[in-house]
Amino acid sequence: MPYILVQVTDEGVTREQKARIIAGATDLMVEVLGKDPESTFVLIDEVKTDNWGHGGEMVTLRRQRERRGG
Amino acid sequence: MPYILVQVTDEGVTREQKARIIAGATDLMVEVLGKDPESTFVLIDEVKTDNWGHGGEMVTLRRQRERRGG
Amino acid sequence: MPYILVQVTDEGVTREQKARIIAGATDLMVEVLGKDPESTFVLIDEVKTDNWGHGGEMVTLRRQRERRGG
Amino acid sequence: MPYILVQVTDEGVTREQKARIIAGATDLMVEVLGKDPESTFVLIDEVKTDNWGHGGEMVTLRRQRERRGG
Amino acid sequence: MPYILVQVTDEGVTREQKARIIAGATDLMVEVLGKDPESTFVLIDEVKTDNWGHGGEMVTLRRQRERRGG
Amino acid sequence: MPYILVQVTDEGVTREQKARIIAGATDLMVEVLGKDPESTFVLIDEVKTDNWGHGGEMVTLRRQRERRGG
């Protein structure tokens, strides 16, 4: 009965990508641990880049710098 | 000082239902563990059905199949 | 398909208390939201009092003070 | 490689406040544990006051009572 | 910069299984979302069967019933 | 009423370090958001290095490689 939480930045994850994440994470539980898909939950939490800090700063700012070539 | 996180699919949970979940979960901590309600937090996280996977697929798709009688 | 996480301090929660928390939280989902118990997970996370801070200090220290009548 | 989740009520947290939370929590990991900021994540989750229970009731209602002087 | 939390019951997950879960979940982020493995965390939380409720009862009891053929 | 979860690898965090993390994270909520320490929880979750994946592999293995100078 696994519970899997996937937190990613909210940068345009498509429905098709969500479906692949759900299927892939569930398959992993089935293949590696022999779990039943019917008792496997996968939750995707899309977090705004203003609300995700990495390296001590907002991901929003990191992205801007990356785009400027920094 | 309990912390309770309730994750449910975002399918029209009403304010009155939220109030009952908060009261019920808090009462449970008081009755079973003798906790102080003032140091009990209950958080309700409503998750979009596209972002919740069950049985390897989006709950959105499961719901559609259920409605079709599948 | 609710997921409920209950975090409490690790201060001797008995098996019988865990069973009551699991049953009570599941019932709450059934009664308030009409959820299926078979797709309801309840997880209990017992946290050491050294690892739980409240009011800016370890719960371990708060408990000591409470016992001394402070 | 710390992961820090900060859950607060959604009551107008500004961008500048988010930046300070991210920087402050990251600094704490660097100073106390000698962690690398580049492998430190800080996530801020803003929770609606209807979805946060404290003392057995919605924070929304507590706030109303506080404003009325109760 | 994904964060993935995998909660499973503590029923003898081997080191090799953990390694496969970590690799598989990371690969999923790389393949589906183009994420950098170096900013992908995968945490495995093994939960005692007494502390995991399913269907309103402890998984420990469900397992006993399953073994008895119920 | 903030809730802060700090997940770090279980590599000998001392009691004094835990106290500093609890105090520092609480102060941050007081200073940046004007929160009441009495309604601020800080939880520290120490995760075994076998259960933490980074870059697609167990932190245990990364540490071994780092020590060998890789």
Residue E17's pLDDT is 98
The predicted-structure confidence for A7-42, as pLDDT tens digits, reads as follows 999 999 999 999 999 999 999 999 999 999 999 999
Shortest CA distance from E29: residue in chain A:
A21
Residue E70's pLDDT is 62
Cross-chain Cβ contact E50/C15 below 8 Å: yes
The predicted-structure confidence for C14-61, as pLDDT tens digits, reads as follows 999 999 999 999 999 999 999 999 999 999 999 999 999 999 999 999
Kindly provide the ipTM of the predicted complex, given to two decimals: 0.97
Specify the 3-state DSSP secondary structure of B50: helix
Q: Compute the distance between CA of residue B22 and CA of residue D47 in angstroms, rounded to an integer.
A: 14
Cross-chain Cβ contact D17/F33 below 8 Å: yes
- Partners of E1 on chain A (C-beta within 8 Å) are 8-9, 52, 54, 59
The predicted-structure confidence for F25-39, as pLDDT tens digits, reads as follows 999 999 999 999 999
Answer whether residue A48 shows pLDDT above 90. Answer: yes
Number of compact structural domains in chain D: 1
Question: CATH number of the domain that C60 lies in?
Answer: 3.30.429.10
Tell whether F47 is within 8 A of chain E (Cβ). Answer: yes
Residue B65's pLDDT is 92
- In the residue annotation, F37 being an active-site residue is answered as no
DSSP F69: T
Cross-chain Cβ contact E26/F53 below 8 Å: yes
**Largest pairwise CA distance in chain A:** 47
Nearest-by-Cβ selection for B2 from C3, C7, C32: C7
Specify the 3-state DSSP secondary structure of C54: strand
Q: Compute the distance between CA of residue F50 and CA of residue C66 in angstroms, rounded to an integer.
A: 38
Residue type, B22: I
Cross-chain Cβ contact F1/D59 below 8 Å: yes
Answer whether residue C70 shows pLDDT above 80. Answer: no
What range does the domain containing D28 cover?
3-67
The predicted-structure confidence for D27-38, as pLDDT tens digits, reads as follows 999 999 999 999
Answer whether residue B70 shows pLDDT above 80. Answer: no
The predicted-structure confidence for D20-62, as pLDDT tens digits, reads as follows 999 999 999 999 999 999 999 999 999 999 999 999 999 999 9
Q: Compute the distance between CA of residue F2 and CA of residue D17 in angstroms, rounded to an integer.
A: 14
The predicted-structure confidence for E6-58, as pLDDT tens digits, reads as follows 999 999 999 999 999 999 999 999 999 999 999 999 999 999 999 999 999 99
Apex E43 CA angle, A50 and D28, nearest 5:
50
Residues A21/E28, Cβ–Cβ less than 8 Å: yes
Residues A40/B54, Cβ–Cβ less than 8 Å: yes
